[in-house]
Structures are given as C-alpha cells and as structure tokens.
Structure 1
C-alpha cells in the first residue's frame, strides 16, 4: 500500500530549493482557493496578492520591495488572527516565509527567526486547513468529497504529490 502523505514528505525532502519554494506558493494558493468561501474577499485578495508578489520576486519579475508592500497589505487586511478567515489566510504568510524569510530579514522587513518553515511544513498545514475549513461543495470539482478530515488530508496530499511531479524540473 502506498502511504501518500509519507511519500509526499519523502519527495519534498528531495526537491531542490527553487522547486520547493515554488511548491510552497502553489500549495498555499490552491488551499486558499479551496477554502475561498471561508475568507472574505478583501483578505482573500490580499493573501493571493502576497503569494503572487512572492512568486514574481522568485521568478525575477519583481524585487523584495514588492514582497514587502504585499506583506503590509496582507497584514492590514488580516486583523488579529482570531477568525476562521484569518486562520485560512495564514497559509499565505507561511508560504511566503518559507520562500523569502531570510531575504526579508536581511532587508529589515521582518524580525529574524531561528527557523524558516519548510515546504513540508507548508504542505502539512495546507492539508490541515483544507480538511478543517474548506467548503466541501467547492471541493467536489477538484477533490473527492468527504466529511472525514483524514480523507480530505489524504486527497490534498495526493494533489500535492501530483503537483511535485507535474512541476519537477528536468535533471541536470
């Protein structure tokens, strides 16, 4: 039997740095889309814009100042972090931290932290958030529907594993 979540972790540990960063942003973006009904439009837009700015910087289309501006807009929209919407939107901040934490620290945008979230951290948190907060009628279009959180986590992990494979760079 293939244990999807374990195999996903194994694959993620083998990805190169750039691929892992791209996956972080992709995972958070997709989780936000699956949880769209739980997030008000302003916070959703700020979250997706934050991810987009991080992706643009990663791909060389923008610099860290664009990420800083998107971060400020995200935190203005986010509030105190107590609502369901803010818990879902936190995935954007987690993915961007996994992608840009050290660079944001060097630029004085954020306070230095001991650790940086990994692509595995982002994947697991996305699984948990989707299982807890997604609108299952919305999920039906892209994932098999279940009210069992462990089944939803498995389906999200399966989607994430396929994403690793779909986006894997050619070996050098």
Structure 2
C-alpha cells in the first residue's frame, strides 16, 4: 500500500526552503478554505490577506509593510474572534514558517516568541483539520472515524499532487540536458 503522507514527507525533505515556505502557505490556505464555514467572515478575510502578504514576502525574500500590517491585523482579529479562530492558526503557523525571521529583522516580532513550525507540520496539521471537519459534517449515521481518515487521505493526496505540480522541469529553460 502506498502511504501518501510518507511520500509527501519524502518530497518535502527535498524541497528548497523558499519553495517549502510557499507550499506551507498553500497547504494552510487550502485547509482553511475547506473549513471556511467555521471562521467568522472578518477573521477569514484577515487570514486570507495574511497568507497572501506572507506569500508575497516569501517570494521577495523580505518583510514589507503589507506583511507587517497583515501580521498586526491577524493578531487583532484572532483575539477578537478567539472562539472561532482555530482553523486560522494553521495560517499563522505557515506564515511563521516562511516569514518569522523576516518579521524579527523588521522589528515586528520578538525572537523570544519564536516558534519553529516545519512544512511537514503544516501538512500534517492541515490533514488533521480537514479530517475533523469532514467527520463533523458527515451524513447522519455515517462512520465519523472513517470519514476523518478518508478526508485526511484525500488531503494528503491533494498536497502530494500540489507539490509535484510545483516542481520545475529540469529540462526546460536550458538548465538540464536533453
């Protein structure tokens, strides 16, 4: 049997740091979109902006005012809507994976508050969130554990296919030999 989370983990070990950070944001965004009904609309809006600003900063290799503002807004909204913000914590972890050092260098974050998420952690947590969401929303009389496991597997499949779709072809652009 192919164990998708294991294959995904192997692939993520081979991805460079910047691409892993972008992938982590994609994983978080996908899981949050699935669970959007659990999140207050304002918090969802702020989280979406936070992920987008994080993606932009990762691509640029530095924090910018948009990220700093989005970071502040995310934390303000997460306190305001604390009872409905669990799915968005994954987005924060993804942004911290890719942007924490940048935010520290910009003076927007303290090194004392450092967290050390990994892309693999984001992937596993996204699978878990999606599984729980599907179990909770399973049809009446359905086996909720089975629904959870099936949804986790499908999320791992989506993640695996997503990573594969992002891997550049080494034979395009003159970098590889034909």
Length-normalised TM-score, structure 2: 0.82
2:3 maps to: 3
Distance 2:122 2:64 in 1: 21
Following superposition, which runs of at least 4 residues in structure 1 exceed 6 angstroms of deviation?
Answer: none
Is contact 1:53–1:62 with CA below 8 Å preserved after alignment? no
- What secondary structure sits across from 2:169 in the alignment? coil
- What secondary structure sits across from 1:59 in the alignment? helix
1:118 maps to: 118
Is contact 1:81–1:87 with CA below 8 Å preserved after alignment? no
Within-5 A mapping of 1:1-172: 1-60=1-60, 63-79=63-79, 82-83=82-83, 85-112=84-111, 116-133=116-133, 136=137, 147=144, 148=146, 149-171=148-170, 172=175
Measured against aligned partners, the alpha-carbon deviations of 1:127-166 in whole angstroms (never above 9, x if no partner) come to 11111235758xxxxxxxx843122111111100000001
Distance 1:163 1:74 in 2: 26
Query: Which structure has the larger Rg?
Result: 2
How far apart are 1:82 and its partner, in Å? 4.9
How far apart are 1:170 and its partner, in Å? 3.1
Where in structure 2 are there 5+ consecutive unaligned residues? none
Where in structure 1 are there 5+ consecutive unaligned residues? 138-145
How far apart are 1:80 and its partner, in Å? 6.8
The higher-RCO structure (CA 8 Å, 6+ apart) is 1
Length-normalised TM-score, structure 1: 0.85
Distance 1:168 1:104 in 2: 27
> What is the root-mean-square deviation of aligned Cα atoms in Å?
2.4
